[in-house]
C-alpha cells in the first residue's frame, strides 16, 4: 500500500508543480481499490507522511523516482504527438515510401497542405522516404507556372522531397502497360457516347463493345480517335461503381505544357495515379476521404500488372470557416478586384498565408493537430491564430505603432530617457525613447480619456486628465498606476524620428499612423508585433511609407 501511495503522490506532485495533495491521492486510491475504505484511517496517516516526504523532493527527483517506480504514470504529453501515425501499424525500420501527387493546376491551399505534410511527417517519423510527383496527365488542366509555384510553396513549408517525378514524363511506360493489358484481354475500345456510358454504368449494364476480340482492340487502339476510349474490363455491375469497366485512356487533342503535341492519348487520373505510385515504389499514401471508393480500383490495377499494392489510408478533410476555396469563385473575385490575387489576405492559399504573416511552423502544427480521423471538421481562423501566436510570441519583436495619431501635451512631464524591451517576456534586446511633454497617442486611446482618471504611458509616465482637455503629469512608477489607473497606452514622442506606416487589414481596410523609428531597420517579410495592435508582416516600402499586412491580434 505504501508503494501505491507513493506512486500516486509522485504523479500528483508532478502534475501540480511539485506539491502533492493528500486528499487527491486518497480519493484516487479508494476509487481504484474499493476495499481500501476499510483501512481508511491507516491510509490517511501513511499518505500524510509520504506526501510530506515527496513534497520535499525537487521536481527532477520526483520525476526520476516515478520513472523507476511507475513509468506508466509519467505525463504522456510528448508521446501524444508522436502517436499520430501509430494506428497505421508501421514498424520503425520497415520500408516506407510515402508520396504526395498534386496536379499542377492551382495554388495549393491549407487543405492540400494537410495531405502533403501528413505523408512527409509520416515518412520522417519512421525513417522512410517521401516522393513528390506532379499528376499532370490532363493537358487541359496542367499549367506551366504551377510546377514551380507548388515546389516553392512546399519548400517554404519545410517539405524536402527525396525525389520529384512528373507523370507526363512516363507516357511510353503507360502505353507499354496498356499493351500488356490489351494482349491479355483486359481492355476494350468503346465509342459509346458519354450519356449512354453513364446510363449503362449507373444501371450496371454492359456496353456493346465489352466482348470485343483482342485483335479488334489492338487495331482500334493504334488509331484511337476523339470520342473513343480504352476501358478496363472488370465487371459491368460491380457493387463499387468506380469498378464498372472504368475508362483508362482517352484522346485529348489540346497540347500539353511539357510534351506539346507529342501525345494525344492520355491516361485517366485513376490509371495514372496508381501506376505512378507503383513506378515510384510508393508503399503507403495518406490522402483525403474523397478517394475512399477509388482505392479498390487503384489496388486492382496494380495487382493486375503484378505490382505490389500501395497501402492507402483516407482521412477527413477540414475546412476553415468562411474561407473561399473554390478556384472558379476565387478567379471571378480576382477579376472583379474583390481579391487582390491568389494571395489575398482573406484566402487560405499558402501564398496568402505566407504574405499575411503565418509561419510554416504554425501551419504545420495546426494541420497536424487536426489529426487523421475520418470525421470532417470545420475550424476557424482563431484555431490557426492560436498556433501562429505561439510561434510569433517567441520571434516577433514588439514595436510601437500609433494608429490615427492624436497629439497630446502632458504638462509638467519631465524629460526622460526610457528603455523598452523588444521581447518583454524574455528581455532579449531593448530600445529607448527620449520623451518630454508631447506625445502621439492612438485615436482609440485618445477618445477613451475621461476627466479625473489616471493613465499610464507604457514604461514612461502616469498622467491625469483635468477639465478642459488639459493633461497633467502625475508620477513615474507603475505601482502608483496600479492602485487606481484605468488604461496603459503606447505612444510616440513628438520629437521622435517616426515613420509613416500603413496596415492592410484582412477586410481591405487600411489603417494609417506613425511607427517608431526602428521600423526602418526591418526587411520586407519580417513579422513584428505592434504593441496592443497585433502581429503584422512588412510587405513593401515605398516613398517613405512602410506598408504592413495585418496577421492577427
Ligand atoms: Zn461501348
Burial of 215 (0-12, 13-18, 19+ CB in 10 A): exposed
User: Could you tell me which residues are beta bridge partners of residue 406?
Assistant: 441
Region 234-260 average pLDDT:
97
Q: How far is the CA of 184 from the centre of ligand 1 (A)?
A: 19
Q: How far is the CA of 245 from the centre of ligand 1 (A)?
A: 10
Nearest alpha-carbon partner for 142 in 102, 174, 194: 102
Specify the 3-state DSSP secondary structure of 107.
coil
Specify the 3-state DSSP secondary structure of 53.
helix
C-alpha cell at 238: 460491380
Region 518-527 average pLDDT:
98
pLDDT tens across 350-389, in order? 999 999 999 999 999 999 999 999 988 899 999 999 999 9
The answer to whether 548 and 534 have CB atoms below 8 angstroms apart is no
Q: How far is the CA of 491 from the centre of ligand 1 (A)?
A: 76
Give CA–CA dist 456/488, Å, rounded. Answer: 5
pLDDT tens across 106-131, in order? 999 999 999 999 999 999 999 999 99
Residue 79 has pLDDT above 50, yes or no: no
User: Could you tell me which residues are beta bridge partners of residue 165?
Assistant: 133
The answer to whether 5 and 20 have CB atoms below 8 angstroms apart is no
The answer to whether 132 and 100 have CB atoms below 8 angstroms apart is yes
Region 218-222 average pLDDT:
95
Q: How far is the CA of 191 from the centre of ligand 1 (A)?
A: 5
C-alpha cell at 331: 478567379
Q: How far is the CA of 190 from the centre of ligand 1 (A)?
A: 4
Q: How far is the CA of 118 from the centre of ligand 1 (A)?
A: 40
The answer to whether 447 and 489 have CB atoms below 8 angstroms apart is no
The answer to whether 193 and 229 have CB atoms below 8 angstroms apart is no
* End-to-end C-alpha distance for the chain, whole angstroms: 52
Give CA–CA dist 342/334, Å, rounded. Answer: 8
Q: State the Cα torsion 508-514-517-520 to the nearest 10°.
A: 30
pLDDT grade, residue 92 (50/70/90)? confident
Q: How far is the CA of 185 from the centre of ligand 1 (A)?
A: 16
Residue 409 has pLDDT above 60, yes or no: yes
Q: How far is the CA of 209 from the centre of ligand 1 (A)?
A: 5
Greatest CA separation found in the chain?
102
Per DSSP, 517 falls in state: G
Residue 194: which region, alpha, beta or left (left: phi > 0; alpha: psi -120 to 50)? Answer: alpha
pLDDT tens across 525-543, in order? 999 999 999 999 999 999 9
Q: How far is the CA of 222 from the centre of ligand 1 (A)?
A: 17
What count of residues does the chain have? 553
pLDDT grade, residue 340 (50/70/90)? very high
Q: How far is the CA of 254 from the centre of ligand 1 (A)?
A: 24
* Neighbouring residues of the ion ligand 1, judged by CB less than 5 Å: 190, 192, 207, 209
Residue 80 has pLDDT above 70, yes or no: no
DSSP string, 322-388: T----HHHHHHHHHTTSSSSTT-TT--BHHHHHHHT--HHHHHHHHHHT-S-SS-EEE-HHHHHHHH
pLDDT tens across 162-179, in order? 999 999 999 999 999 999
C-alpha cell at 520: 526602418
218: Cα within 13 Å, side-chain hemisphere:
11
Ranges 83-87, 240-244, 390-394, 405-409: which has the least confidence: 83-87
pLDDT grade, residue 76 (50/70/90)? low
Q: How far is the CA of 246 from the centre of ligand 1 (A)?
A: 11
Q: How far is the CA of 212 from the centre of ligand 1 (A)?
A: 10
Q: Please state, in angstroms and as integers, the Cα–Cα distance from residue 452 to each residue in 350, 478, 490, 494, following that order.
A: 50, 18, 20, 24
β strands within 380-436, DSSP E:
398-399, 401-403, 405-411, 416-421, 430-435
Q: How far is the CA of 172 from the centre of ligand 1 (A)?
A: 26
Q: How far is the CA of 197 from the centre of ligand 1 (A)?
A: 7
Nearest alpha-carbon partner for 406 in 550, 512, 542: 512
C-alpha cell at 423: 521581447
| Residue listed under C-alpha cell 519545410 | 158
A 10 A CB-CB count for 264 gives: 16
| Strand pairing report for 318-320 and 377-379 | parallel
Region 397-401 average pLDDT:
97
> pLDDT above 70 covers what percent of the chain?
99
84: Cα within 13 Å, side-chain hemisphere:
22
Record the pTM: 0.82
Q: How far is the CA of 204 from the centre of ligand 1 (A)?
A: 13
Q: How far is the CA of 142 from the centre of ligand 1 (A)?
A: 28
A 10 A CB-CB count for 456 gives: 22
Q: Please state, in angstroms and as integers, the Cα–Cα distance from residue 68 to each residue in 14, 58, 72, 224, following that order.
A: 14, 16, 10, 73
Per DSSP, 93 falls in state: T
SS3 content of the chain, % helix, strand, coil (to 5): 40, 25, 35
pLDDT tens across 414-435, in order? 999 999 999 987 888 999 999 9
Instruction: Tell me the helices (H) and strands (E) count for the chain, helix number first.
Output: 18, 27
Q: How far is the CA of 299 from the centre of ligand 1 (A)?
A: 24
Residue 75 has pLDDT above 70, yes or no: no
Residue 82 has pLDDT above 60, yes or no: no
Residue 314 has pLDDT above 60, yes or no: yes
Q: How far is the CA of 12 from the centre of ligand 1 (A)?
A: 71
The answer to whether 135 and 272 have CB atoms below 8 angstroms apart is yes
Decide which of 40 and 524 is more confident: 524
Q: How far is the CA of 206 from the centre of ligand 1 (A)?
A: 8
The answer to whether 131 and 97 have CB atoms below 8 angstroms apart is yes
Mean pLDDT of the chain: 94
Phi, psi of 408 (to 5 degrees): -130, 135
Region 382-401 average pLDDT:
95
Amino acid at each position: 500500500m505504501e508503494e501505491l501511495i507513493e506512486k500516486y503522490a509522485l504523479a500528483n506532485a508532478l502534475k501540480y508543480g511539485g506539491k502533492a495533495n493528500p486528499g487527491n491521492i486518497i480519493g484516487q486510491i479508494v476509487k481504484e481499490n474499493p476495499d481500501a475504505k476499510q483501512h481508511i484511517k491507516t491510509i490517511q496517516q501513511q499518505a500524510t507522511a509520504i506526501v510530506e516526504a515527496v513534497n520535499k523532493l525537487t521536481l527532477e527527483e520526483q520525476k526520476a523516482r516515478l520513472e523507476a517506480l511507475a513509468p506508466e504514470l509519467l505525463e504522456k504529453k510528448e508521446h501524444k504527438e508522436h502517436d499520430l501515425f501509430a494506428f497505421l501499424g508501421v514498424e520503425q525500420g520497415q520500408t516506407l515510401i510515402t508520396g504526395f501527387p498534386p496536379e499542377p493546376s492551382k495554388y495549393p491551399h491549407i487543405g492540400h497542405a494537410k495531405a502533403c505534410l501528413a505523408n512527409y511527417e509520416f515518412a520522417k517519423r519512421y525513417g522512410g522516404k517521401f516522393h513528390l510527383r506532379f499528376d499532370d496527365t490532363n493537358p487541359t488542366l496542367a499549367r506551366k507556372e504551377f510546377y514551380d509555384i507548388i515546389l516553392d510553396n512546399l519548400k517554404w513549408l519545410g517539405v524536402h522531397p527525396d525525389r520529384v517525378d512528373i507523370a507526363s514524363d512516363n507516357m511510353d511506360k503507360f502505353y507499354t502497360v496498356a499493351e500488356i493489358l490489351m494482349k491479355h484481354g483486359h481492355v476494350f475500345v468503346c465509342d459509346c457516347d458519354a450519356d449512354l456510358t453513364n446510363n449503362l454504368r449507373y444501371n450496371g449494364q454492359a456496353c456493346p463493345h465489352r466482348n470485343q476480340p483482342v485483335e479488334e482492340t489492338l487495331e482500334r487502339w493504334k488509331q484511337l480517335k476523339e470520342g473513343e476510349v480504352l476501358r478496363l474490363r472488370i465487371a459491368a455491375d460491380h457493387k463499387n461503381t468506380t469498378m464498372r469497366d472504368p475508362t483508362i485512356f482517352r484522346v485529348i487533342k489540346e497540347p500539353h505544357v511539357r510534351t506539346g503535341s507529342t501525345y494525344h492519348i492520355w491516361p485517366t487520373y485513376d490509371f495514372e495515379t496508381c501506376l505512378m505510385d507503383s513506378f515510384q515504389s510508393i508503399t503507403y499514401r495518406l490522402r483525403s476521404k474523397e478517394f475512399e471508393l477509388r482505392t479498390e480500383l487503384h489496388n486492382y490495377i496494380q495487382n493486375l500488372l503484378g505490382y505490389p499494392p500501395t497501402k492507402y489510408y483516407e482521412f477527413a478533410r477540414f475546412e476553415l470557416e468562411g474561407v473561399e476555396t473554390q478556384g472558379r469563385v476565387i478567379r471571378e473575385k480576382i477579376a472583379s478586384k474583390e481579391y487582390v490575387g491568389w494571395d489575398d489576405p482573406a484566402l487560405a492559399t499558402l501564398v496568402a498565408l505566407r504574405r499575411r504573416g503565418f509561419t510554416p511552423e504554425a501551419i504545420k502544427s495546426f494541420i497536424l493537430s487536426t489529426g487523421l480521423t475520418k470525421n470532417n471538421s470545420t475550424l476557424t481562423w482563431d484555431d490557426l491564430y492560436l498556433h501562429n501566436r505561439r510561434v510569433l510570441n517567441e520571434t516577433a519583436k514588439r514595436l510601437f505603432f500609433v494608429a490615427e495619431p492624436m497629439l497630446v501635451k502632458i504638462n509638467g512631464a519631465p524629460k526622460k530617457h526610457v528603455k523598452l524591451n523588444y521581447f518583454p517576456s524574455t528581455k532579449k534586446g531593448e530600445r529607448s525613447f527620449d520623451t518630454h511633454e508631447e506625445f502621439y497617442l492612438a485615436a482609440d486611446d485618445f477618445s477613451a480619456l475621461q476627466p479625473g482618471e489616471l493613465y499610464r504611458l507604457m514604461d514612461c509616465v502616469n498622467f491625469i486628465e483635468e477639465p478642459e482637455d488639459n493633461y497633467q503629469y502625475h508620477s513615474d512608477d507603475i505601482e502608483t498606476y496600479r492602485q487606481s489607473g484605468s488604461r496603459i497606452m503606447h505612444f510616440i514622442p513628438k520629437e521622435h524620428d517616426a515613420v509613416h506606416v500603413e496596415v492592410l487589414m484582412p477586410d481591405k481596410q487600411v489603417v494609417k499612423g506613425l511607427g517608431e523609428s526602428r521600423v526602418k531597420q526591418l526587411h520586407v517579410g519580417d513579422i513584428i508585433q505592434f504593441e496592443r495592435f497585433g502581429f503584422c508582416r512588412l510587405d513593401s516600402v515605398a516613398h517613405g511609407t512602410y506598408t504592413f499586412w495585418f496577421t492577427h491580434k
